[in-house]
């Protein structure tokens, strides 16, 4: 019954017990709505037929309402609506009160990606990993404009506000992968601000966290200067690819030559770009660096001035790594490997 | 303006259409509420088709999951334009400023509104606001959505100032019209029109006017604050500059939620008249309809927080706003029941305006019930900012306004023009519009259930089939509206003469000649019965007599 109604109403799968209970209220609301509407329309239809006009001069009686009508007209909808509310509001309050001991994950929305950080542990872009069966509290904020964190399968949504934290929570029931959307309009990449909720078996999740922590510790130990961010033991090009992915550059710049929110990086290095206002510029190291630090200075013709500055967010070695990576994407450049492929844990885009 | 002396021999009856003059200048400088109403009708109908064109472009873009005919920036500007044009240029002014201007003074037995010059100013403010907003959109148009949410709107690279200024000017047009209607209703009623004999159309327009003059200034203030932050960089809403991002939403919805009732109440005004006229019955509960309009206007001011359930406002606030929103539902339910009960023992003529009444009832019931479902807080969390909300407000607002607008257009077409529209084509148009509307928005309810957020330029493929269905429905709707435009234009020129009162309606407005003369009534009428009474023998509503003072 639950599944039949869910499919009839096009509702996504229910990834938590909360989602199932919200859906039950949904079904109740739909069924009572349909019954009430059928009542009104059947009555109206009956009147249309029974009292259809037979002659233009038909006299009609003056009909006045009685108290019983008034009580009915107000009482029936009021009690129905209050009944819905009496079920729905406690569910909402429950959603506002994370249980004690829930696992915390910090969620940061920014144009146009989701960042997830685990206290004292790893962080990831666009993929939120959680263990099955354990309550998870999300502490949500935004770095720029308002976004809204939305997982349809959980029936959970919470706005991400710049300058403050909001919270919500859930307990996922089954391992699986579920879509994360941004539900609050945030500009050019709004509909591309997708993420994925990956619900893992608890043991697998714990392994993943431990593994990530080890990797993090190694990176910190090995970094020549704290905060430098460029890991030794890897080519500068490979580091550039990793940093570009982590910083979200690839949300707007493609690597395969297709047009997106920003100009593609394929064959960009050394190319002569036409700018807004008619000037041209050669995309050399200087231009590429300037474009990261002061993106609004030279806008390529046909694109919008939407890129935020990375001044203070990228260290000089990181900038160098990204420039090297862009250089490696030229068709004449010697490639050490395929230039495509997953740059972080891949998310299948449906 | 001096009255024209160039009046020809009155072979044709003297009406507002040919007197005092017929030239363009005599229209553009007129102070006659009927002419101003007609100019508003022409302007708002043009806006409807412009906004409809944007809607079609949006639906075509959404035919495929990826880019179809435009890029993301164009799409974002288009849905902003669609919202701004439909809300500020069509739905808010269409019925009150158009039909309300034409009918309200006649229904009160008055010769004009209280302030005819302000009335004309209101029209030109509308034109100026429309020009500024549209010009601003064509030149570097805003991509913020009609809701202008901060801090997006104050940090976007597109130009938002012109569109804010346009909406700001339009607000004054709205305020002046509302002010005029309130004063006219209070001071210019003919003898015999006591407060319990005011036509229900006037009651609802009156309630609308109260909201217009109380809520619109808050919108003006809010738009100014956005303008100031966007242009001068003062920190009001942007937390990066020390502002509060949610404050804007409170300000904005404090106007924009009551604005929904600015749009729907005039629709209810029309429907109350139509249901009586086409069932030849007195309204089942006059006071219930009149007071529920005032009730909606009042409670509507205290429900804005139901737009903020996911914004992090306190659960306590959300609960209060949820409950209060349900009271709006109660008042609406009362009206639905009263209209349905009015049919009981009536004499129902299923003409085009009545077909739109049926459509109105349908959209109001489902639009209203989904509204209550949205006020049931936990369900809203899933639906907030998805296509379910889009479908809901299109049902209740657009469905309601469009049905009522078309009902009014057909019902008062003879009153305004002295001609009849083709009844057969009228019914075909009504069927196309009502079915097309359902085919467009029922898939969107399901898309919302499925979880598709609104304002998406591209979408995952699982949303594809329902988007195609919605676009197909939109084309039926467009065909219906075009059909109506074509036959009304033909009927304007070649329609058969309608006679004085083709519906045998007992509405007060039919007591003046059809089409009315410039002064509406040769002498002040005295009303001897209520506005929707069909029981007595064919007795006229007015008796000639010494005008007595009414307060």
For B314-332, write each residue's pLDDT tens digit: 999 999 999 999 999 999 9
Does A338 score more than 60 pLDDT?
no
**Beta carbons within 10 angstroms of residue B397's beta carbon:** 21
Q: Which two tokens stand for residue B441?
A: 């928005």
Q: Class of the A103-214 domain?
A: mainly beta
Residue-level pLDDT at B247: 92
A13 and chain B in contact, CB less than 8 A? no
Q: B355 and B434 in contact (C-beta within 8 Å)?
A: yes
pLDDT at A345 over 50: no
- B154 or B357: whose pLDDT is higher? B357
Decide: helix, strand or coil at residue B387.
helix
A114 near B CB under 8 A: no
**Phi and psi (nearest 5°) for B139?**
-100, 95
Rounded Cα–Cα distance for residues A305 and A173 (Å):
43
Measured between alpha carbons, how far is A308 from A111 in angstroms, rounded to an integer?
Answer: 9
Q: Taking 90 as the threshold, does the pLDDT of residue B172 lie above it?
A: yes
Is A161 in contact with B246 (Cβ distance < 8 A)?
yes
Verify whether the Cβ–Cβ distance B453 to A77 is below 8 Å: no
Q: What is the CA B107 to chain-centroid distance, rounded?
A: 19
- Residue B348 and residue B354 in contact, taking contact as beta carbons nearer than 8 Å: yes
The CATH architecture to which A2-55+62-96 belongs is Orthogonal Bundle (1.10)
What is the distance in angstroms between the CA of the first residue and the CA of the last residue of chain B? 30
- Residue A346, chain B, CB below 8 Å: the answer is no
Q: What percent of chain A has pLDDT over 90?
A: 45
Could B449 and A9 be called an inter-chain contact, meaning their C-beta atoms sit closer than 8 Å? yes
Per DSSP, which regions of B330-438 are E strands? none
Q: How far is B389 from chain A (nearest CA, A)?
A: 12
Report percent pLDDT > 90 for chain B. 77
For residue A308, the model assigns a pLDDT of 81
Residues facing residue A109 across a β-bridge: A114, A142
Per-residue model confidence (pLDDT) at position B373:
94
**Candidate from A52-66, B443-457, B534-548 with smallest mean pLDDT:** B534-548
Summarised one tens digit per residue, pLDDT across range B177-204 is 999 999 999 999 999 999 999 999 999 9
Closest chain B CA to residue A5:
B449
Cβ neighbours of A48 in B, within 8 Å:
343, 348, 350
Q: Measure the CA dihedral A141/A143/A147/A151, to 10°.
A: -50
Closest listed residue to residue B102, CA positions, set B531, B522, B518: B518
Helix, strand or coil, per DSSP, at residue B533: coil
Tell me the Ramachandran region of residue B80: left when phi exceeds 0, alpha when psi lies from -120 to 50, beta otherwise: alpha
Q: Higher confidence at residue A133 or residue A233?
A: A133
pLDDT of res. B533: 86
Of the candidates B238, B16, B246, B28, the one whose C-alpha atom is nearest the C-alpha of residue B121 is B28
As a whole number of angstroms, the distance between CA B453 and CA B346 comes to 45
**Under 8 Å between Cβ of B99 and B412:** yes
Higher per-residue pLDDT: B6 or B162 = B162
Chain B residue with CA closest to A155: the answer is B382
Mean pLDDT on B289-305: 92
B86-96 average pLDDT score: 94
Look at B226-240, B371-385, B436-450 and tell me which has the smallest mean pLDDT. B226-240
Does the beta-carbon distance from B377 to A91 stay under 8 Å?
yes
pLDDT score of B549 more than 50: no
Which of 130-159 (A) contact B at CB < 8 A? Answer: 144-146, 148, 150, 152-153, 155-159
Largest separation between any pair of C-alpha atoms in chain A: 98
Please answer yes or no on whether B454 and A12 come within 8 Å at the CB atom: no
The pLDDT score that the predictor gives to residue A216 is: 67
Tokens of B183: 């004063």
Whether ipTM > 0.95 holds is: no
Domains of chain B: 30-543 (1.20.210.10)
- Residue B460, min C-alpha distance to chain A (Å): 5
Give backbone dihedrals phi and psi of B205, rounded to 5 degrees, phi first. -65, -35
CB contact under 8 A, B73 and A304: yes
Which strands form A127-131's sheet, in the order they lie side by side?
A: A127-131, A195-200, A176-182, A147-151, A156-160
Average pLDDT over residues A220-237: 55
For chain A, the residue count is 350
Residue B6: pLDDT band (50, 70, 90) is very low
As beta bridge partners, residue A127 has A196
Question: Between A269 and B406, where is the model more confident?
Answer: B406
DSSP-based three-state secondary structure for A198: strand
Q: What is the SS3 assignment for B402?
A: helix
Provide mean pLDDT across the span A65-79.
89
Q: Are A289 and A295 in contact (CB under 8 A)?
A: no
Q: Which of B152, B343, B376 to mutate to test the interface with A (most CBs of A within 10 A)?
A: B376
Of A244-248, B492-496, B544-548, least confident by mean pLDDT is B544-548
**pLDDT above 50 (res A339):** no
Tell me if B349 and A150 make a contact (CB, 8 A cut-off).
Answer: no
Tell me the mean pLDDT in the region B427-437.
97
Which residue, A165, A109, A111, is CA-closest to A137?
A: A165
Region for B462 from its dihedrals, namely left if φ exceeds 0, alpha if ψ lies in -120 to 50, beta otherwise: alpha
Q: Calculate how close chain A gets to B35, using CA atoms only, in Å.
A: 32
pLDDT tens, position by position, B351-363:
999 999 999 999 9
Q: Out of B70-84, B269-283, B535-549, which region has the weakest mean confidence (pLDDT)?
A: B535-549
Tokens of B399: 């469905």
For the domain made up of A225-328, the CATH class stated in words is mainly alpha
Selected residue with higher pLDDT from B412 and A337:
B412
Greater confidence (B543 vs B343) lies with B343
- A159, A187, A194 member nearest B152 (Cβ): A187
pTM, full prediction: 0.86
Considering only A255-259, B427-431, B546-550, which range has the smallest mean pLDDT?
B546-550
Give the chain A residue whose CA is nearest to the CA of B313.
A166
Q: Is the pLDDT of residue B9 over 50?
A: no
Question: What stretch(es) of chain A map to CATH 2.60.40.420?
Answer: 103-214
Tokens of B374: 């949205």
What pLDDT is stored for residue B546 in this prediction? 42
d(CA B146, nearest CA chain A) in Å? 11
pLDDT of B433: 97
Q: Specify the domain boundaries for CATH 1.10.760.10 within chain A.
A: 225-328
Contacts of B42 (CB under 8 A, 6+ apart): none
Q: How far is B91 from chain A (nearest CA, A)?
A: 23
Binary contact (A12, B451; C-beta < 8 A): yes
Q: Which helix (H) or strand (E) holds A159?
A: strand A156-160
User: At a CB cut-off of 8 Å and minimum separation 6, what does A149 contact?
Assistant: A107, A109, A114, A138, A140, A157, A158, A159, A160, A168, A180, A182, A183
Integer Cα distance of B423 and B494 in angstroms: 14
Beta-carbon separation of A84 and B373 below 8 A: yes
Give the chain B residue nearest A91 (alpha carbons). B378
Of the pLDDT bands very low, low, confident and very high (cuts 50, 70, 90), residue A219 is low
Residues 6+ apart with CB under 8 A from B104: B33, B113, B181, B184, B185, B201, B202, B205
B379:A163 CB<8 A: no
* pLDDT at residue A245 tops 50: yes
Mean pLDDT of all residues belonging to chain B = 91
In this structure, of A129-143, A234-248, B150-164, the range with the lowest mean pLDDT score is A234-248
Nearest partner of B219 among B272, B277, B182, B260, judged by Cα: B260
Cis check: omega of the bond before B509, within 30 degrees of 0: no
Contact with chain B for residue A271, Cβ under 8 A: no
The pLDDT score that the predictor gives to residue A319 is 81
A343: its two tokens: 């740059």
Nearest-by-CA chain A residue for B153:
A145
What local confidence, expressed as pLDDT, does residue B14 receive?
87
One-letter-per-residue 3-state SS of B289-346: HHHHHHHHHHHHHHCHHHHCCCCCCCHHHHHHHHHHHHHHHHHHHHHHHHHHHHCCCC
Task: Please state, in angstroms and rounded to a whole number, the distance separating the CA atoms of residues A228 and A226.
Answer: 5
Among B73, B453, B455, B499, the strongest candidate for a mutation testing the A interface, having the largest count of A CBs within 10 A, is B453
């Amino acid at each position: 019954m639950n599944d039949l109604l869910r499919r009839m109403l096009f509702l996504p799968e229910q990834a938590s017990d909360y989602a199932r209970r919200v859906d039950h209220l949904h079904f109740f609301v739909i069924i009572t709505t349909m019954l009430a509407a059928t009542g009104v329309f059947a009555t109206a239809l009956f009147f249309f037929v029974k009292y259809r006009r037979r002659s233009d001069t038909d006299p009609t009686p003056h009909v006045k309402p009685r108290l019983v009508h008034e009580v009915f007209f107000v009482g029936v909808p009021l009690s129905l609506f209050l009944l819905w509310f009496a079920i729905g509001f406690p569910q909402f309050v429950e959603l506002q009160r994370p249980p004690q001991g829930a696992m915390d994950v910090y969620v940061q929305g920014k144009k146009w990606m989701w960042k997830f950080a685990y206290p004292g542990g790893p962080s990831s872009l666009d993929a939120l990993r959680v263990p099955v069966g354990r309550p998870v509290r999300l502490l949500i904020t935004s770095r720029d404009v308002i976004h809204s964190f939305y997982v349809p399968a959980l029936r959970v949504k919470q706005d991400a506000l710049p300058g403050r934290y909001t919270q919500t929570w859930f307990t996922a029931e089954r391992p699986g992968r579920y879509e994360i959307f941004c539900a609050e309009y945030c500009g050019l990449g709004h509909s591309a601000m997708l993420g994925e909720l990956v619900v893992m078996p608890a043991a697998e999740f714990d392994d993943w966290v431990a593994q990530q922590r080890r990797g993090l510790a190694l990176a910190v130990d090995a970094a020549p200067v704290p905060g430098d961010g460029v890991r030794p033991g890897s080519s500068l090009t490979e580091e550039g690819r990793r940093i570009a992915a982590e910083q979200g550059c690839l949300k707007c710049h493609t690597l395969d030559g297709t047009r997106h929110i920003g100009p593609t990086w394929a064959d960009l290095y050394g190319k002569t770009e036409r700018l807004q206002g008619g000037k041209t510029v050669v995309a050399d190291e200087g231009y590429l660096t300037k474009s990261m630090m002061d993106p609004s200075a030279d806008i390529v013709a046909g694109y919008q001035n939407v890129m935020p500055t990375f001044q203070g967010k990228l260290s000089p070695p990181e900038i160098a790594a990204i420039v090297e990576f862009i250089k490696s994407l030229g068709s004449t450049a010697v490639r050490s490997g395929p230039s495509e492929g997953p740059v972080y844990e891949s998310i299948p885009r449906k | 303006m001096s009255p024209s002396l160039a009046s020809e021999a009155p072979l044709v009856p003297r009406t507002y259409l040919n007197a005092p003059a017929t030239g363009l200048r005599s229209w553009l400088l007129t102070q006659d509420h009927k002419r101003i109403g007609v100019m508003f009708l022409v302007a708002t109908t043009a806006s409807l088709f412009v906004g409809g064109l944007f809607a079609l472009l949006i639906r075509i873009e959404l035919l495929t999951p990826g880019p179809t005919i435009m890029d993301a920036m164009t799409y974002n500007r288009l849905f902003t334009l669609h919202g701004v044009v439909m809300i500020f240029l069509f739905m808010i002014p269409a019925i009150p400023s158009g039909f309300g201007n034409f009918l309200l003074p006649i229904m009160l037995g008055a010769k004009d509104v209280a302030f005819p010059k302000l009335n004309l100013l209101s029209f030109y403010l509308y034109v100026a606001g429309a020009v500024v907003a549209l010009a601003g959109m064509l030149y570097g148009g805003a991509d913020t959505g009609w809701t202008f949410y901060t801090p997006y709107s104050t940090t976007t690279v597109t130009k938002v100032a012109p569109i804010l200024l346009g909406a700001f000017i339009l607000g004054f047009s709205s305020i002046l019209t509302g002010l005029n209607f309130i004063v006219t209703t209070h001071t210019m009623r003919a003898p015999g029109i006591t407060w319990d004999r005011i036509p229900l159309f006037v009651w609802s327009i009156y309630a609308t006017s109260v909201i217009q003059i109380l809520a619109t200034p808050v919108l003006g203030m809010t738009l100014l604050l956005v303008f100031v932050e966007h242009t001068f960089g003062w920190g009001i809403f942007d937390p990066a500059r020390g502002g509060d991002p949610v404050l804007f939403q409170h300000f904005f919805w404090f106007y924009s939620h009551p604005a929904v009732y600015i749009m729907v109440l005039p629709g209810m005004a029309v429907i109350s008249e139509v249901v009586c006229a086409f069932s030849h019955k007195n309204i089942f509960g006059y006071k219930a309809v009149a007071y529920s309009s005032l009730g909606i206007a009042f409670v509507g001011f205290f429900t804005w927080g139901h737009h903020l359930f996911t914004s992090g406002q306190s659960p306590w606030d959300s609960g209060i706003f949820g409950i209060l929103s349900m009271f709006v539902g109660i008042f609406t339910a009362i009206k639905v029941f009263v209209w349905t009960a009015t049919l009981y023992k009536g004499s129902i003529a299923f003409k085009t305006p009545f077909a739109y009444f049926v459509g109105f009832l349908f959209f109001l019931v489902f639009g209203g019930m989904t509204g209550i479902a949205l006020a049931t807080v936990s369900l809203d969390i899933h639906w907030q900012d998805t296509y379910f909300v889009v479908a809901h407000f299109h049902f209740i607002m657009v469905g309601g306004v469009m049905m009522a607008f078309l009902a009014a257009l057909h019902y008062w077409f003879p009153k305004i023009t002295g001609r009849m529209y083709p009844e057969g084509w009228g019914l075909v148009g009504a069927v196309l519009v009502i079915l097309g509307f359902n085919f467009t928005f029922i898939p969107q309810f399901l898309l919302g259930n499925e979880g598709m957020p609104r304002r998406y330029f591209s979408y995952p493929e699982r949303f594809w089939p329902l988007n195609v269905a919605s676009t197909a429905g939109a084309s039926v709707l467009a065909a219906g509206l075009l059909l109506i435009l074509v036959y009304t234009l033909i009927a304007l020129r070649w329609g058969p003469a309608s006679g004085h009162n083709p519906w045998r309606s007992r509405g007060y407005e039919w007591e003046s000649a059809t089409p009315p003369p410039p002064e509406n009534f040769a002498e002040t009428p005295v009303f001897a019965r209520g506005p929707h009474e069909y029981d007595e023998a064919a007795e006229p509503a007015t008796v000639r007599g010494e005008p007595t003072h009414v307060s």
